[in-house]
Amino acid sequence: MDRTAAGWINGFLGVVIFSGSLPATRVAVAGFDPVFLTVARAVIAGLLAAGLLIVFREPRPQRRDLVPLLITALGVVVGFPLLTALALQSITSAHSIVYVGLLPLATAVFGVLRGGERPRPLFWLFSGLGSACVAGFAFSRGIGAVSVGDLLMLGAIIVCGLGYADGARLSRRLGGWQVISWALVLSLPVMAVVVVATWPATLHDIAGPAWAGLVYVSLFSMLIGFVFWYRGLALGGIAAVGQLQLLQPLFGLALAATLLHEAVDPAMIGVTAVVILCVFGARRFA
């Protein structure tokens, strides 16, 4: 298997895992404070990451890697989880999932600014068309006036795109799981202090689904998904493989249909087909 194909396969697996992140967060914030949820998921994933780094005897990052690791941590360990958790207090997971359709553009822009990539003009055409298609579908479903939750989601997309780009650059040298692991370990001391400071008065009233949501976002969204995602971005290109995120809102809707038995109408199928074509077009001209 060549490098590009491996990148796209790894990226696809990462997107599938991330598709459950916002629904799981929505369930988790029903029982946990957003700040506690953010730091708790980082601490759980950070302890696991530290164990992996010790077991596999990974060398420490060099001094030049610290700033990109900090940017990665601020983007994907703190920024995106916190902003989405705050947003999901006032908007639904289906509403928030739509904004992920803008993440490929953010990732591609930061891939150019931070990663030195130069996609061809037709790439931007397909990327913009795919994002517009997802956004248009969302607004046709009745998303109305802009709220605080919407602004928080836009902020989350920006910081996440930056974290993806810097993490992917480092993955070319350090490896995918190593980058997210070191970012988690780097943020672990601060996250641990905040966990203690925000610890709930009681845990007995927290329902099972909220615990399940915490487990998912801690293990899959915070660590396992990034193992595949950063490897995919590093092998296949930040801008190109990043377009796979156009599929994430649609995977989220599919999960809602499968697990929550929500209806899937012909419009969803049509949008899915157009977005898939845009992903292949962006891949062709990246």
* Structural domain harbouring 230: 3-285
Vertex 186 angle, CA 180 and 188, to 5°: 100
* 25 or 257: which leads in pLDDT: 25
pLDDT > 80? residue 146: no
In this predicted structure, what is the pLDDT of residue 206?
A: 94
Angstrom distance (rounded) from CA 134 to CA 272:
9
User: In this prediction, what percent of the chain has a pLDDT beyond 90?
Assistant: 48
How many Cβ atoms from other residues are within 10 Å of residue 5's Cβ? 11
CA nearest to 164, candidates 94, 76, 84, 96 = 76
Q: pLDDT tens digits, residue range 114-137?
A: 777 788 888 888 888 877 887 777
Q: How many domains does the chain fold into?
A: 1
User: In this prediction, what percent of the chain has a pLDDT beyond 70?
Assistant: 90
CA–chain centroid gap for 166, Å, is 14
Angstrom distance (rounded) from CA 59 to CA 171:
14
How many Cβ atoms from other residues are within 10 Å of residue 179's Cβ? 29
Q: pLDDT tens digits, residue range 209-260?
A: 999 999 999 999 999 999 999 999 989 988 888 888 878 877 877 776 776 5
Asked if residues 88 and 26 have their Cβ atoms less than 8 Å apart, the reply is yes
Cβ neighbours for 141, distance < 8 A, ≥ 6 positions apart: 94
pTM of the prediction? 0.85
